[in-house]
């Protein structure tokens, strides 16, 4: 099956072909995309191979992930599946969708007899894992509106290989699921706009509205914003809005209301409208007005981050993008730009920035890149393309050096188990660069995807478990569990990360200072205090005044990623 569909080439484009002559990479892509079923199986297996390493061994990553997981755990503990809480604090920031998905998975694991499922972060990550796999598969489906099956396979593989989607697949948060829903909407909208001379199947329209509703339950207005801006931009281009009638908005909005309204009504009644005041009036407007939780960055942040977060395809996208202006009259270009550009501008303008905010836009960029590759316009003939393509080996080389240094500085020994694999990934990426120099762009893509697969196994599967200094909360939780005393009550001071609450328990007390921690330890029963070194002198002095001498069980040194500093936590116990 040919990779190149020249019938859709823009007028005046010289049809060079994706590579100069056939090679093993072209034949491989053609063979793997010979049928839709085969292509989907390949993408499913690739996704699992990239996303699985480190999935269970990665510690709860502060701060967002354990906040989501802990709130889901408390739903199971209390039986309240309407309100969202972190300990005693209302968590009125996002709608309930991801919490329901996580709770359902954990409840299912418990029903199957899994021991300690509620305190095992991997089960809370399963919706994200499935959302990331779904993103890859529906990217293939969406891409078929633009490119050949071989090109669609590459577009899906680019998403599977991307660093950012790989990260989100391993975190119990909203973004992988949100991205899957937005790709369904993108593929449906693209078909409606590009195939206006055809009848769009009712299933495609139903999928659009189901994804639209789920996106609202998962992350509120983000999904509707992206698709709404894209629809508006395309309507301005077409100087008409009639084509949107194909979405059947009447029954689509009714379906959306039936799906989302019950919970929104329930939370409004339960909180007296406080959820909307908090989520819209404070959380969302705070992100728009200032850099929330120290996540401020200037405009241009996402553009710079893109080269790392969308590796290894990012540099190919950068080479392809200048052609978007030249080909702006082409409908397929207009659809991609309408999906990406308006929302990207808004994300860049908002002061609060996190890399994953733009993830729902990446599938359109992957499809655009592959389309330009099919037309033969990505290659060494493009200005500065050959030196720019050095980014492909630079990322794995940088991780090899950076993680080696980090392991040595934090744990006293480099993560030797993962370093050979990172070296192999670097060498494969160099091979990809050499192939690009020769104009073998499909070979470049295949090799870059292979490098990402090796890198994922090396970084997540072999290197990450060895970075013990970063696993402060799991090691403290292990220390608490190792103490032989009945029903201990635990307090922490100086180290207050949500991951510790998730792993130790919902009742974990958070002391404001050493004196407050000492007062907690003065209570009845078995009591454990986790005391960071800076609060230790005050803690011990206060206990001395009370006539108490706690036993120091162990010390747990580590590195707090969020604080960016080394910590040393003493584990004390009384009333054994």
For 302-330, write each residue's pLDDT tens digit: 999 999 999 999 999 999 999 999 999 99
Q: Given this model, what pLDDT does residue 283 score? A: 63
Q: Which of 184, 165, 152 is nearest to 312 (CA)?
A: 165
pLDDT greater than 90 at residue 429: yes
Give per-residue pLDDT as tens, 380-392.
999 999 999 999 9
Q: Given this model, what pLDDT does residue 288 score? A: 58
Torsion from C-alpha of 214, 216, 217, 219, nearest 10 degrees: 110
Distance CA 44, CA 138 (A): 11
Q: Given this model, what pLDDT does residue 2 score? A: 38
Q: Given this model, what pLDDT does residue 21 score? A: 38
pLDDT greater than 50 at residue 5: no
Give per-residue pLDDT as tens, 117-155.
999 999 999 999 999 999 999 999 999 999 999 999 999
The model carries a pTM of: 0.94
- DSSP-derived secondary structure for 214-266: HHHHHHTTHHHHHHHHHHHHHHHHHT-SGGGGGG-HHHHHHHHHHHHHHHHHH
pLDDT greater than 60 at residue 18: no
Give per-residue pLDDT as tens, 235-267.
999 999 999 999 999 999 999 999 999 999 999
Q: Given this model, what pLDDT does residue 285 score? A: 55
Continuous segment of H or E residues that includes residue 473: helix 472-482
Give per-residue pLDDT as tens, 480-534.
999 998 889 999 999 999 999 999 999 999 999 999 999 999 889 999 999 999 9
The highest-confidence range among 80-94, 118-132, 562-576, by mean pLDDT, is 118-132
pLDDT greater than 70 at residue 568: yes
What is the share, in percent, of the chain residues with pLDDT greater than 70?
94
Contact assessment for residue 542 and residue 491, using Cβ atoms and an 8 Å cutoff: no
Mean pLDDT, rounded, for 62-70: 96
Contact assessment for residue 6 and residue 15, using Cβ atoms and an 8 Å cutoff: yes
Q: How many CB atoms lie within 10 A of CB 513?
A: 14
Token look-up 């190919």 returns 316
pLDDT greater than 60 at residue 95: yes
Q: Two tokens at 233?
A: 């931009």
> How confident is residue 287, by pLDDT bands cut at 50, 70 and 90?
low
Distance CA 320, CA 217 (A): 35
Distance CA 179, CA 468 (A): 31
What is the share, in percent, of the chain residues with pLDDT greater than 90?
87
Q: Given this model, what pLDDT does residue 286 score? A: 58
Torsion from C-alpha of 522, 525, 526, 532, nearest 10 degrees: -20
Q: Mean pLDDT of all residues in the chain?
A: 93
Q: Which of 567, 506, 520, 571 is nearest to 548 (CA)?
A: 520
Distance CA 555, CA 300 (A): 43
Q: Quote the Cα angle for 57-63-69, to 5°.
A: 65
Q: Given this model, what pLDDT does residue 6 score? A: 36
């Amino acid at each position: 099956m040919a990779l190149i569909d020249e019938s859709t080439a823009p007028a005046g484009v010289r049809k060079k072909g994706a590579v100069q002559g056939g090679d093993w990479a072209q034949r491989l892509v053609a063979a793997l995309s010979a049928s839709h079923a085969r292509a989907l199986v390949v993408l499913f297996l690739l996704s699992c191979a990239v996303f699985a390493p480190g999935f269970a061994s990665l510690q709860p990553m502060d701060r967002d992930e354990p906040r989501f997981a802990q709130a889901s755990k408390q739903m199971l503990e209390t039986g309240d599946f309407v309100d969202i809480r972190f300990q005693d604090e209302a968590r009125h920031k996002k709608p309930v969708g991801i919490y329901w998905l996580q709770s359902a998975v954990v409840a299912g694991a418990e029903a199957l007899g899994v021991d300690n499922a509620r305190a095992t972060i991997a089960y809370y990550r399963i919706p994200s894992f499935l959302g990331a796999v779904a993103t890859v598969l529906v990217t293939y489906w969406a891409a078929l509106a633009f490119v050949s099956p071989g090109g669609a396979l590459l577009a899906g593989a680019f998403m599977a290989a991307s660093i950012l989607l790989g990260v989100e697949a391993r975190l119990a948060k909203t973004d992988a699921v949100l991205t899957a829903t937005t790709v369904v909407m993108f593929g449906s909208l693209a078909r409606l706009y590009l195939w206006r001379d055809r009848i769009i199947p009712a299933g495609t329209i139903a999928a659009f509205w189901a994804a639209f509703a789920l996106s609202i339950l998962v992350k509120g207005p983000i999904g509707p914003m992206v698709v709404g801006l894209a629809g508006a931009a395309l309507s301005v281009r077409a100087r008409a809005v009639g084509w949107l009638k194909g979405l059947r908005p009447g029954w689509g909005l009714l379906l959306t209301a039936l799906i989302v309204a019950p919970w929104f009504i329930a939370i409004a009644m339960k909180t007296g409208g406080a959820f909307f005041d908090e989520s819209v009036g404070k959380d969302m407007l705070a992100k728009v007005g200032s850099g929330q939780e120290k996540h401020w960055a200037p405009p241009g942040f996402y553009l710079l981050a893109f080269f790392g977060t969308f590796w290894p395809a990012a540099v190919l996208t950068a080479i392809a993008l200048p052609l978007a202006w030249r080909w702006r009259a082409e409908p397929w270009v207009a659809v991609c730009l309408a999906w990406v550009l308006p929302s990207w501008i808004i994300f860049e303008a908002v002061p609060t920035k996190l890399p994953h905010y733009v993830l729902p836009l990446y599938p359109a960029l992957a499809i655009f890149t592959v389309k330009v590759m099919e037309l033969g316009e990505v290659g060494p003939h493009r200005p500065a393309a050959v030196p720019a393509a050095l980014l492909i080996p630079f990322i794995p080389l940088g991780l090899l050096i950076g993680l080696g240094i980090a392991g040595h500085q934090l744990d006293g020994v480099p993560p030797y188990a993962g370093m050979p694999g990172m070296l192999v990934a670097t060498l494969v990426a160099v091979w990809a660069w050499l192939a690009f120099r020769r104009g073998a762009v499909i070979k470049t893509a295949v090799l870059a995807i292979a490098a990402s697969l090796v890198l994922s196994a090396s970084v997540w599967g072999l290197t990450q478990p060895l970075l013990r200094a970063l696993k402060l909360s799991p090691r403290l939780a292990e220390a608490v569990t190792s103490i032989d005393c009945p029903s201990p009550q635990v307090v922490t001071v100086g180290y207050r990360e949500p991951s510790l609450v998730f792993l130790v328990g919902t009742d974990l007390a958070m002391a404001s200072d050493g004196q407050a921690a000492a007062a907690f330890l003065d209570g009845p029963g078995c009591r454990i205090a986790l005391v960071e070194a800076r609060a230790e002198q005050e803690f011990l002095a206060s206990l001395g005044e009370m006539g108490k001498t706690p036993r120091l069980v162990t010390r747990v040194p580590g590195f707090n990623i969020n604080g960016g500093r080394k910590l040393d936590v003493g584990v004390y116990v009384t009333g054994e």
